[in-house]
Amino acid sequence: MMASDGMLSLSWNNHKATFCHILSTLREKERYTDVTLACEGKFYPVHKLVLSTCSEYFEKMFEHTPCKHPVVVLKDIKCADMEALLSYMYDGVVSVLQQDLARLIKAAELLQIKGLAVPDEPPLKELSKKNAYPWSSRDDRSSPHPKRRRREDMMTSTSQGSSLPPPESPPSSPQHHQESNQSWDHSKSHSQDQREDGVDQRVGDPVEPAVEFSSPKQEASHNQEPVDESLVKEEVIEGSEDNQGEGMDSRIEYGGMGGGDSNTGGEEQGSKFPHQLDTKHPQPLHEAVVEALAGPSGMQGWLGTGELGGGFSMLEGYSEDGNQEVHPASTGPHGTQQSHQMVWLDYDTNMADKVGAQDSTKNVLRNEKKKTFYCPCCSYTSPKVYHFKRHYRTHTGERPFSCAHCPYHTSDKSNLIKHVRRHIS
DNA sequence: CAGCAGGGGGCGG
DNA sequence: CGCCCCCTGCTGT
């Protein structure tokens, strides 16, 4: 900012302070908030910009999340810590009791908050003691699969839960990634058989199952609100906005894929479903889905209840069996505390308001104790996994059931049976 | 009428 | 609990 040629340099003296103050004010007033963090039943409407600025984790998450106003459910993070972290992000400072420091750091690590957990920037506080996690390095994200990594990271980190840093060894999962694509297919192909392996790999990461595990604990520990964190659902705003587009995009893609299927399907008739489609669609879907859903790390889940990974299952869903709970691999042992889930809201964009307002129960699932499966692509919910899987196939375009007499193939076995009967009769 | 999507009930592990 | 099958409602041709 020099003024070499008659240029004048105008500086705003208190720019930083003013900016920070304004940001904080905006947060208080919930103005322009475009993402809601949910933890322990509390909702914090905040700004993606701020979160992205302070955490690559969030940055990536939003980068891959089409939703206009996503809700990120943070598990294993206490609301007190969340508030402290928000204060840290918005104001640059936060006061914390020494006794709470470790826990706060842990939370910061989970979220990869710069300055607290991520070395990116010089550690501001001593807090950074742990700072560099192995993964931080990974963060560089040069790699194409940041998400997964993140998830893993998360998982690992979380897993440690209270204690320590994750094993640095990037666990197996990474490896899986590579295979993932293919494996996916396979998995799909086997869908009927159900192998979870395949699933694990891919989905695994996202794995929420892990989440589930943890959840129970959490519940135990605190169940303040009925609202289950796991349950928050976000919707892709359907009616309302174009957003649908986003959500829908995915669908669209699926559809496309579906088309593809048909071709293949046709040929394969004989082969029965399992293999058929593997070919192409799967991947895209997955990808799309994963992206959409999982997004960055946050992921996935929706399932409610915590128990199972059901949620994830969905993802896995494609594979059909997915659910199985736990995919150990990724999930990891329980450690998992995983953390966050990104969900689609049913409500409209302004969910924030709503959420903020009341318990938001509506949108949020209330059946906390029951298992309820929420479709990440639409507002469909079902207490039956099977129904959920069946439904989810409509989004993925997967049509594992093909007619032996014609190219017809469907995602619903019942329909196939019905169809076959016509041939017979 | 065919196809699609979803709910309900029954069965087996 | 998960899966299967039946049935129903809706939509498009």
Q: Estimate in Å the CA A300 to C1' C9 gap, whole number.
A: 32
**Paired tokens of A350:** 């302004």
Instruction: Place A336 in a pLDDT band, splitting at 50, 70 and 90.
Output: very low
- Per-residue confidence (pLDDT) for residue A240, from 0 to 100: 34
Going by their DSSP bridges, the two strands A71-74 and A42-46 should be labelled as: unpaired
Q: Is the pLDDT of residue A389 over 60?
A: yes
Give the domain ranges of chain A: 145-164+174-424
- Complete DSSP assignment for A98-161: HHHHHHHHHHHHHHTBBTTTBTTS---SGGGGG---HHHHHTT--SS-HHHHHHHHHHHHHHHT
- Per-residue confidence (pLDDT) for residue A119, from 0 to 100: 59
Question: For residue range A250-271, what is the model confidence (pLDDT) as tens digits?
Answer: 333 333 333 333 333 333 333 3
Q: Is the pLDDT of residue A386 over 80?
A: yes
Q: Is the pLDDT of residue A188 over 50?
A: no
Q: Is the pLDDT of residue A83 over 80?
A: yes
**Cross-strand partners of A343:** A71
Rg (chain A; Cα; Å): 22
Q: Estimate in Å the CA A386 to C1' B10 gap, whole number.
A: 15
Q: Is the pLDDT of residue A419 over 80?
A: yes
Q: Is the pLDDT of residue A1 over 80?
A: no
Give the distance, in angstroms, between the CA of residue A309 and the centroid of all CA atoms in the same chain: 13
In this predicted model, which residue has the larger pLDDT, A274 or A72? A72
| Mean pLDDT taken over chain A | 52
Q: Residue A140: what residue type?
A: D
Q: Residue A244: what residue type?
A: Q
In this predicted model, which residue has the larger pLDDT, A41 or A102? A102
**Paired tokens of A356:** 């903020």
Residues A23 and A15 sit within 8 Å (Cβ to Cβ): no
Q: How far apart are CA A208 and CA A327, in angstroms?
A: 9
When mean pLDDT is compared over A65-74, A184-193, A325-334, the highest value belongs to A65-74
Q: Estimate in Å the CA A387 to C1' C8 gap, whole number.
A: 16
- Per-residue confidence (pLDDT) for residue A53, from 0 to 100: 83
Q: Estimate in Å the CA A380 to C1' C8 gap, whole number.
A: 18
- Per-residue confidence (pLDDT) for residue A349, from 0 to 100: 27
Q: How far apart are CA A245 and CA A352, in angstroms?
A: 20
Q: Is the pLDDT of residue A390 over 80?
A: yes
Nucleotide nearest to A416 (CA to C1'): B3
Nucleotide nearest to A408 (CA to C1'): B3
Nucleotide nearest to A371 (CA to C1'): C1
With pLDDT > 70 as the criterion, what percentage of chain A qualifies?
38
Q: Estimate in Å the CA A383 to C1' C9 gap, whole number.
A: 20
**Paired tokens of A273:** 């479903």
- Per-residue confidence (pLDDT) for residue A49, from 0 to 100: 85
Q: Estimate in Å the CA A414 to C1' C7 gap, whole number.
A: 10
Nucleotide nearest to A421 (CA to C1'): B2
Instruction: Give nucleotides in strand C with any atom < 7 A to a protein C-beta.
Output: 1-8
- Complete DSSP assignment for A167-213: PSS--HHHHHHHHHHHHHHHHHHGGGT--HHHHHHHHHTT--HHHHH
Residue with tokens 């501001």: A124
Phi, psi of A118, rounded to the nearest 5 degrees: -100, 130
Nucleotide nearest to A411 (CA to C1'): B4
Summarize the confidence of residues A335-343 as an average pLDDT. Answer: 35
Residues A68 and A32 sit within 8 Å (Cβ to Cβ): no
